[in-house]
Every structure is written in structure tokens, then in C-alpha cells.
Amino acid sequence: MTIAALIVAAGRGTRAATPGAPPKQYARLAGQMVLTRTLALFCAHPLVDRVLAVIAEEHRGWYEQAASGLPDRGKLLPPVAGGTERQSSVLNGLNALEDAAPEIVLVHDAARPLTPANVISRVIEGVETHGASIAAVPVADTLKRGQNELIEGTIDRTGLWRAQTPQGFAYKAIRNAHEAAAQRQVTFTDDASIAEWAGMRVALAMGSERNLKITSREDMALAESLIAQGAETRVGTGFDVHAFGPGDTVWLCGVPIPHERGLVGHSDADVGLHALTDAILGALAAGDIGAHFPPSDPQWRAAASHIFLERAADEVERRGGRIVNADVTLICEAPKIGPHRQAMRSAIAEILRVPVRRISVKATTSEKLGFTGRREGIAAMATASVAVPFSGDETC
């Protein structure tokens, strides 16, 4: 049995629009694109075999960015172009799935990036039992019909549900229903309505309040707070030492500083960035800098250390996490760090793609004691904290 997920992402996001910013499915939500989060839910679901996104042709660049943030693209099919309405986008996607020939298709809004995995499982179970099933939540508020700010009546809420996605169907049946609706030019706001119109029986599977659809700008803030509730903060530490040697410049925390000596190392010997890279990898329990960038590998000879730090930041993003803060301490008698501190903070903030207020750089001497006191080299310590989703555990 092949199960495909069809992620409709071809909308313009007009209700949530921010002037000059990409549409909502490409906006960053707690550090990761909305669409990356949505695709990742289905790519990671063990019962889903294929994932297809329907996108607007002019968003292709953003789509590539969103897809490149996925931990695993193995299930991902090349995207297809959407239509002017959600309904025509879904039909385009269903047609494009012909070669994949799934038995079941799950239609899902890209704008719902927080769908719990068990909601997806319940919808699949519903399709297997009833032929069609959608995620939905019972209406909890009293419903009023109104006009001109006046109540015209109260609607009995008994048996009323709010439809969410995913909405799952036997592939052939929903494709036929969509084609018939398109031919007769009847329009609906969800796929279950089309199935109902075509005479299919559709089951209700319990959805989740967490499964919100980002519709307005305020929903982004709400989604961020839901992510924060489902995240844990992890802390990692790093330590590194490089000896002084020939040269007239030392690289420290991404900044070149003229000095009477250089630092010896396989790469550019930026001891601050190395310690910080290790701190971030440590927070993820993802090994250390030596494991990721072995000194035995010639490609890292004289490498600029911002590459190592960037890769560590990519790892955080790949797991749906974000860097909360980082703190580096440089231990040396010279050069003086104070005059370069702000440049170092800015350089690190840029590499990690976080605001500079989250980055600290400090310095101390070792009171002329030990190898740093004898000016034989520089040591650096770093601490980093990252917030990662609980559901990211299996990839961490």
C-alpha cells in the first residue's frame, strides 16, 4: 500500500502578508521555514511513502530553500505548479501523482506546520477503515449567526466539527471527484466537501488545537508560542587551544587581528569559532568538530573556520531547532580582545544567523600562569544553548 502526502503550498498568503516578505509558507517560524516544517512532518512519518508539494512557479527559489532544510529528502517528489485556487492546486497535485500510483492520498495545507504525527496516523487509519477521513475538532464555542453586528440566531453546535487537514482519501476516488467538480465548475473550500458532493462517505478523525492553520499574521506568533511549548533547551560546551607560531595575524571569533605572531593549526586556527562549533555540536549530542571536519581530510587545510560554525548552525536548523544564545571566553595575555569584541559578536551572529544580542564574547588572562600566561598559545571556552523540538528526538 503506497501512501502519498500532497502538500498544497501555491497560495499567495494575502491575509498574512507582510510587505516585502515572502508569503507565509516561506516565512521563518522559530528559525525554520513554514514549508520546511510541514514537509518534514510527512517525510518523517513512517506510514507515508511519497511527499509532493504543489507550489507557485514564481516561488521555486524559495521552495528549493525550504526543501534544502529537510533532514531527509528521500520521499520528496519534484514539485508541481498549482492553480489560482486551492481546489485547482489540489487537482494539479492529484494528477501529478499518477506515476506514483498511491492507494491513499493525504491532502494537507502547507500553512499547517504543527500537525502532530498521531493526527496523521489517525487520518490514515480512518481512510483504511472508511475510504475517506479528515482531521477535525469538535466546536467548543456557542455559534451565532450575525449581520450588521447584530445576532440573528444561535446555531445548535451539537455534532459540529471544524475541518482541518490532512484530509485522506482513496486516491482514485478523490481524483475522480475533483475532476468532476472541475468539469462542472463547482467550488468548495476543502477536499472533504468535494468527496461529500461526489457521494463518498467521509469519517472524522480527532484533530488537534495544535494543528492550527496560519491564516493571519497573528497566527505566526501563536504558532511560535506553540513551538516554544513543545521545545526543550539543551546546553553544550566547547574548549580549544592553538599554539602561537610564525605569522602576523590571528583569527579570533571570525575577525582577523594583526599580532606579532600567528596561530598554528590545520585550518585558520580560529580557536574561538572552534570552541563554539563544539559547544553547538555538543548541545545536539552530534559529536565534535574533529568528527565532522577531520584534520586528516585535505579539504579542511587552511579552511576558514566560519564554515565549521555555519555547518553546526545548519545541523540545528535541520533538526527544527534554533540557537538561543552563545557565550565565548578567550584566554590569552595578548592580543587585547576588548577593541575587537563587538566585531567578533557581529561576525558570530552573522554566521549563526541570530541577533547579535544573543552572542557574548568575553576575555581573560590566566594571570601569567600556564601556557597562556607564558604567551605560548590561546585557549577558548564556549557555551551554547539551543532549543529543539521534542519530536526532533529521533533525528538527534
Ligand X SMILES: C[C@](O)(CO)[C@H](O)COP(=O)(O)O
Ligand Y SMILES: Nc1ccn([C@@H]2O[C@H](COP(=O)(O)OP(=O)(O)OP(=O)(O)O)[C@@H](O)[C@H]2O)c(=O)n1
Rounded Cα distance between 104 and 2, Å, is: 7
Cα–Cα distance for residue pair 53/35, rounded to 1 Å: 9
* Beta pairing, strands 143-147 & 50-55: unpaired
Q: Tell me which of ligand X, ligand Y, none is bound by residue 9, counting a contact when its beta carbon lies within the kind-specific cut-off of 5 to 8 angstroms.
A: ligand Y
Helix (H) or strand (E) run with residue 98 in it? none
Query: Is the preceding peptide bond at 335 cis, omega within 30 degrees of 0?
Result: yes
Cβ-contact 61, 23 below 8 angstroms: no
Min separation Cβ 181 and ligand Y, Å: 15
Q: Is 266 annotated as a binding residue?
A: yes
From the list 85-93, 134-142, 196-204, 235-243, the region that binds ligand Y by CB under 6 A is 85-93
CB of 109 to ligand Y, least distance (A): 4
Of the residues 52, 80, 111, 223, which one makes contact with ligand Y according to CB under 6 A: 111
- Of 215 and 233, CB closest to ligand X: 215
Nearest to 31 by CA among 395, 346, 390, 388: 388
Residue with cell 580560529: 270
Chosen from ligand X, ligand Y, none, partner binding at 84 (C-beta under 5 to 8 Å by type): ligand Y
Query: Is 365 assigned to a binding site?
Result: yes
Q: How far is the CB of 196 from ligand X (least distance, A)?
A: 13
Give residues 81-120 in contact with ligand X (rule: CB under 6 A).
86, 109
**Binders of ligand X in range 177-196 (CB under 6 A):** 189-190
215 binds ligand Y (CB under 6 A): yes
Distances (CA, A) of 366 to 8, 294, 330, 371, 377: 59, 30, 10, 9, 12
Helices and strands, counts by H and E, the chain: 12, 18
Among ligand Y, ligand X, none, residue 18 binds (CB under 5-8 Å by kind): none
Work out whether 9 is an interface residue with ligand Y (CB under 6 A): yes
Shortest CA distance to 37 belongs to which of 169, 272, 183, 230? Answer: 230
- Residue 79's nearest CA partner among 104, 62, 65, 96 is 96
- Per CB under 6 A, contacts with ligand X among 149-168 are 163-165
Q: How far apart are CB 48 and ligand Y at their closest, in Å?
A: 18
Please name the residues in contact with 87: beta carbons below 8 A apart, sequence gap of 6 or more: 178, 181, 182, 187, 188, 194
Q: Does 240 carry a binding-site annotation?
A: yes
292 known member of a binding site: no
Instruction: For residue 273, give the nearest of 337, 338, 345 by alpha carbon.
Output: 345
Which one of ligand Y, ligand X, none is in contact with 89 (Cβ closer than 5 to 8 A by kind)?
ligand Y
Q: What are phi and psi of 395, to 5 degrees?
A: -100, -5
Q: For residue 129, say whether it is annotated as part of any ligand binding site.
A: no
User: Using the rule CB under 6 A, is 123 a contact of ligand X?
Assistant: no
Q: Is 219 annotated as ligand-binding?
A: no
Residue 86 as a binder of ligand Y (CB under 6 A): the answer is yes
Please identify, using beta-carbon distances, which residue of 130 and 213 lies nearer to ligand Y.
Answer: 213
By the rule CB under 6 A, 231 interacts with ligand Y: no
Interacting residues toward ligand Y by CB under 6 A? 8-16, 25, 54, 82-86, 89, 109-111, 213, 215
Annotated binding residues, as ranges? Answer: 240-242, 266-267, 274, 288-290, 364-367, 371, 374
